[in-house]
Amino acid sequence: MELYGIPITSRLLLGTARYPSPAILSAAIAAARCDIITVSLRREARSGPAFRDILHATGARILPNTAGCHTVKEAVTTAHMARELFNTPWIKLELIGHADTLQPDVFQLVEAARILAEDGFQIFPYTTDDLIVGERLLAAGCQVLMPWGAPIGSGQGLRNLPALRSMRAHFPGVPLIVDAGIGAPSHAAQAMEAGFDAVLLNTAVALAADPVTMAGAFAEATAAGHAAHRAGLMPPRDMAAPSTPIFGMAELA
């Protein structure tokens, strides 16, 4: 997998918020074997340089995000600050439009993506599973799409799997990363089995009773789901089909 020309080995992206301690966060990132971790600029601003040093020490590539932004101006300003702070053109673009569901405001999202792309940013937009919105984001300059599986932090899994499958079929050459709503390793495996390129999650690991073990479970589930997709899943059938054919069996008088 390549994201903006960068080879990526792991197909699990991990968030860095809400962990019990910096030590557990570092151990979870190691157990997840992830190449990319996301961090909110607002979280970094509260935690200071020490937190930034912890993130850099993991060896993972940092993907800053615009979490908490509700307007184009907020998102663009936050993205510029993140680029200066983390010295990266990568930005996970979040523009929230609904306070309860945290659903992205796709109209402002497309506009912010256009502005940032023109300024040299490489954008990872948190979006819905709407095909037209996806086309608009690609036209604005995005090369990756990150549709939600369910509302952020809900742990509901893939609430609209048919729509996600349609998105995968509609954008065959575009890296697609399921972002938000994944609550169990089985959800991650399901996304990968559907042909998605990666999954991004935070809460399911950070708030687990044992975040480090859970991070490892997600790493294994993501790898297994991707391997299953490449191997070729059997199609579901309406009727039973015997695994042992009756042709050639002995006839007993």
DSSP string, the chain: -EETTEE---SEEEE-SS-S-HHHHHHHHHHHT-SEEEEEHHHHHHH-HHHHHHHHHT-PEEEEE-TT--SHHHHHHHHHHHHHHHT-SEEEE--B--TTT--B-HHHHHHHHHHHHHTT-EEEEEE-S-HHHHHHHHHHT-S-BEE-SSSTT-----TTHHHHHHHHHH-TTS-BEEES---SHHHHHHHHHTT-SEEEESHHHHTSSSHHHHHHHHHHHHHHHHHHHHH-PPPP-SS---SS-STTPPPP-
Catalytic residue among 11, 33, 92, 136: 92
Longest Cα–Cα distance of the chain, Å, equals 84
Does the active-site annotation cover 73? no
Structure tokens at 206: 């950070």
Handedness of CA 211, 217, 221, 222 (dihedral sign): positive
- Positions annotated as catalytic residues are 92
